Structure 1
Amino acid sequence: MMEAKVPTTPTKRTMLGWCAVLVTLVLLVSGCGTNFGTTDDGKQKYRWKMTVTTGSTSTWYLAAERFAKSLEEETNGRITLKVFGNERLSAGEATAGVEQLMDGAKDFSYNSPIIYSAVDPRFGAVTAPFIFDTVEEGQEALAGPGGDVYADYLSEHGVHLLGFGESGMRQLTNSHHPIHTPDDLHGLKFRIPGFGLYTDLYRALGSNPTTMPFGEVFTALQQGAIDGQENPIDVIHSANLQEVQPYLTLWNYSYDPLVFGVNEKLFESLDAEDQELVSRLAEDTNEFQIKENRDREKELIAELEDSGMEVNRLTDSEKKEFREELKPLYAEYREVWGKDMSEAFIPEGL
């Protein structure tokens, strides 16, 4: 399957790649998860780093800051954690950021499974289109065998799973007209996450998908280089996309949890007490983030409407039309996702 190419010049692609490499090298040299001696009672001190893809007003960032504050308070400053928004440790490149976590160049991250899918496409099963009607259904699937499968696969890549937050259902914005049917997407150029499922999905719906770092999306929309994009409401709002996108389609087409990951070697190097502390505070962080995200979503949609955005809510029959259009895609991707992921997340009959 061919993925859409990033619409940047060779020079810009080269610069982005070298920036990510240089930042990673600096982090490796400086030593993430570095210990800073011991306390008087012999406990190891740590200075950790965590990244999120979004900016400081997002629930991702707020939850990460809560985690950092709790770590410092509960250890009387023995453990500190610095949070970096907008994937600053990988020059804005989310996939490079996940690879840093896997390699041990940073310590913790909140990332969408979509980003992990760029490394291993099996992770994309949970975000497949129109398999969940509500966020509660998605959360329930992850609380069962699907979460165990995820943990096993993450461990294969050097990441220990600390549970799941939630970005919510992914929605669609564009600059041309309301979207109600697959025909409404024909010919529009959408920025999508850079992995095969979404490329094939949007092509199947007749649009022209393209990929680019999220940090470039606002300018590309503003300049008309692309017609639209898709993301959860929290991301759309925190990026101020209402300033450059007049149409919002609420179609709940893809459930997007957040993987709270820690580098596995770092986690395994901790003593039992610190492992329990990290796991407990991570669970609290995820619960906080999910509640904040769900509580804020209606408010954020109202704010987007008040700003002049036209909000269109798809009916169940309209969603069914999209699902029917995409049926061949499910059959094709079951082999990509593998038996365990498919059985955990993809309903029978799709």
Structure 2
Amino acid sequence: MKKFFLSSILIALSLCLAACGDEEEASGGSEESYDLDMSVTVGESSTWYEAAEKLAEDVSEKSDGRIEISVYANEQLSGGDSGTAVEQVSNGTQDMSYNSTIIYSIMDERLGVLSAPFIFPDLDTAYSKLDGEGGEMINDILRENGVEPLGFGQNGFRQLTNSETTVKSPEDLEGMKVRIPGINMYTDLWREFGADPTTMTFSEVFTSLQQGTIDGQENPVDVIHSSQLNEVQDYMTVWDYSFDPLILGINKDLYDSMSEEDQQLMKEAAANANEYQIEQAQKLEEEQLQDLEDSGMEVYELSGEEKEEFKEVSQPIYDEYESIWGEELLEVFQSE
């Protein structure tokens, strides 16, 4: 009788353990805990950092504290080098980051298509493309490079400032020393414009402008405003010549190791963070432009005809880089 009773207990215990295992499997094993790190290129006052903090808070709340994200400003995890940050997310020595597609194009030149001159007439068009087939093709390229994309944020269109003159035509750029991002496409483009492009770390730009080592630079309004370049630059040309979206990326191996439930949690929280970042960036840009004008900077917006002249001059870039970006990818982003 005792033997029978003991056997019954063992059977019941086995059934219970099996049931618990089935429940854990059904839940996707979502009891796993994660302590993740995430970097952003710019400082804590930026919309990038605010959105990353929002992401961290939402993920922690929705996972009941199982998934924690520590956010680091100014590329602290990569010694201030955003190119290194992208490599770290790719190889898994860093978990997540907000980085510009310009930086990602250093890793894979196909991603430079998003920065092609005047490829998008406005932000609505840019984001409609990123939400469609073009965005999926970009996502596939990121996955090939070990990064799982969690959506796009906004650094904005890049504008020109200088200390020489109001730039309205390519002739106004003739011989002007302009600091640009360190990628080949921009170097070739600015030479087409007739300028004298130079690359340097952004931390050197203010002093170089102040000392006259360079005449101008190009960046989104937020960077121009937050870096107080109006103190050393008299003129701004608003021409939206190059789009600069952000990629919210996570190491792909890490993401693939997560349960389906945790993956969905990350996707939803990232979508909310990106939406918040874009809204804040667009709202802030209007205020920042006004601040720059109020400070005495001349802000000139190119007319449609003036912009067309720059577009014509930049056409050789498309001829040269189509094979690098990929004909199919370029066609998707250029299509109506």
Same-fold status (TM-score > 0.5): yes
Q: How does 1:71-110 map to 2 (within 5 A)?
A: 71-110=59-98
Match of 1:341 among 324, 329, 335: 329
Q: 2:121 aligns with which of 129, 133, 155?
A: 133
CA deviation after TM superposition for structure 1 residue 161, in Å: 0.7
Provide the rounded CA distance (Å) in 1 between the counterparts of 2:200 and 2:38: 23
1:74 deviation in Å? 2.2
8 Å Cα contact 1:131-1:347 kept in structure 2: no
Tell me: CA distance 1:207–1:347, structure 2 relative to 1, closer, same or farther (3 Å).
farther
Cα distance between partner residues in 2 of 1:221 and 1:55: 21
Q: Structure 1: give runs of 5+ residues left out of the alignment.
A: 1-40
What whole-Å deviation, never above 9, does each CA across 1:139-191 have from its counterpart, x for those lacking one?
A: 11111111110111001100001111111111111122111110111111111
Offset, 1:347: 4.8
Match status 1:267 vs 2:255: yes
Structure of larger gyration radius: 2
1:162 and 2:172 matched:
no
Distance 1:69 1:326 in 2: 44
Q: Identity, % of aligned pairs?
A: 50
Q: Given the superposition, is the C-alpha separation of residues 193 and 347 from structure 1 closer, same or farther in structure 2, using an over 3 Å criterion?
A: farther
> Among residues 308, 319, 327, which one is paired with 2:296 in the alignment?
308
Q: Distance in 2 between matches of 1:95 and 1:176?
A: 31
1:200-239 equivalences under 5 Å are 200-239=188-227
Report the counterpart of residue 53 of structure 1 in structure 2.
Answer: 41
- Shift of residue 91, structure 1, vs aligned partner: 1.9
RMSD, aligned α-carbons: 1.6
For the Cα contact (< 8 Å) 1:173–1:229, is it kept in 2? yes
CA distance in 2, matches of 1:62, 1:307: 26
TM-score (norm. length: structure 1): 0.84
Q: 147, 150, 157: which one pairs with 2:138? A: 150
Number of the residue aligned with 1:19 = none
Name the CA distance, whole Å, in 2 between partners of 1:218 and 1:341: 36
Aligned-partner SS, 1:57: coil
Matches within 5 A, 1:3-42: none
Q: CA deviation at 1:224?
A: 2.4
Distance (whole Å) between structure 2 residues aligned to residue 347 and residue 331 of structure 1: 16
Would you say 1:253 and 2:241 are equivalent positions?
yes
Native 8 Å contact 1:117 1:124 kept in 2: yes
Give the corresponding residue for 2:25: none
1:13-53, Cα deviation, whole Å (9 max, x unpaired): xxxxxxxxxxxxxxxxxxxxxxxxxxxx9822222111111
Q: Distance in 2 between matches of 1:304 and 1:287?
A: 26
Once the two structures are TM-superposed, the CA of residue 72 in structure 1 deviates from its matched residue by 2.0
1:320-331 to 2 correspondences below 5 Å: 320-331=308-319
In structure 2, what is the equivalent of residue 15 of structure 1? Answer: none
Structure 2 counterpart of 1:64, from 31, 34, 52 = 52
Contact 2:30 2:261 in 1 (8 A): no
How many residue pairs match? The answer is 308
Q: Is contact 2:151-2:270 (8 Å) kept?
A: yes
Q: Distance in 1 between matches of 2:227 and 2:72?
A: 16
TM-score (norm 2): 0.88
Structure 2 residue matching 1:129: 3-state secondary structure: coil
Match for residue 228 of structure 2 among 240, 243, 266: 240
1:122 to 86, 98, 110: 110
Contact 1:174 1:245 in 2 (8 A): yes
Segment drifting more, 216-225 vs 255-264: 216-225
Counterpart CA distance in 1 for 2:268 and 2:87 is 25
Q: Work out whether 1:173 is the aligned partner of 2:161.
A: yes
Partner amino acid, structure 1, of 2:297: M
Q: Which residue of 1 aligns with 2:32?
A: 44
1:293 to 274, 281, 285: 281
Equivalent residue, structure 1, for 2:186: 198
